[in-house]
Copies of this chain bind each other. A is one copy, B any other.
């Protein structure tokens, strides 16, 4: 892991970094971490898992990171998922991508192939996220032992839910826009508070499958936020909703 660039804009310092290929992923994973300008001392960290078509510095990721930094004083960090953000398409995606292309051409729902590709993405990406997280927590402007949240829906949940199930440093997670078929086992192992976003008319994830995944989550505190509209139509007020969820669960670490 190494930093490769640093810029500060409007009170937010952005550091780009690289996670060297590990555990079978041949290419490096580009990442970015944002913090208040001049920050030192411990603060909560929120990991941001982008969706399909996104990447670690996609405008939607940047906007969310900026709100966490300027509104809450947190640090935020994102990684490019394998096959996104300029990373080469892993050969394991081949059959799924062919199926997804075919379904798209026929105007059919992608749910199943989309979910099964997500399993492969998680296998590749979870070790990268865990390595990056350990390294980020060693930075003195985040700090070991700081509370860690995860926010990611759709592809961000395909990777983030197994990540949150495997990584005990993650203490709260906003997930959603995925179904239960490929994720129920990991969901049952979750113990941290979860806010789960579901789109009532999701054309990618059938409603019953999303409800079943919420049902499968093992955490004692889990809260479902469902709204009308399709996969990409999560209403803007849920952005503030996620911030309040993290405010409840990521109490700032004690100074010093």
Contacts and interface: CB of A to CB of B under 8 A. Distances in A.
A21 to B, nearest CB: 40
A28 interface: no
Interface of A, secondary structure class, is: mixed
A200 interface: yes
- Max chain B Cβ within 10 angstroms of own Cβ: one of A200, A215, A223, A237: A223
B240 A214 contact: no
Contacts of A222: 227-228
A247 to B, nearest CB: 10
A110 interface: no
A226 B227 contact: no
Contacts of A244: 240-241, 244
Contacts of A211: 211
B215 A200 contact: yes
Interface string A70-81: 000000000000
A153 to B, nearest CB: 16
A41 interface: no
B223 A225 contact: yes
A225 B223 CA distance: 7
Contacts of A133: none
26 contacts: A198-B224, A200-B215, A200-B224, A211-B211, A214-B226, A220-B228, A221-B228, A221-B235, A222-B227, A222-B228, A223-B225, A223-B226, A223-B227, A223-B235, A223-B237, A224-B224, A224-B225, A224-B226, A224-B227, A225-B225, A226-B226, A237-B248, A240-B244, A241-B241, A241-B244, A244-B244
- Ordered nearest first, which 4 A-B pairs have the shortest CB separation? A224-B226, A223-B227, A225-B225, A222-B228
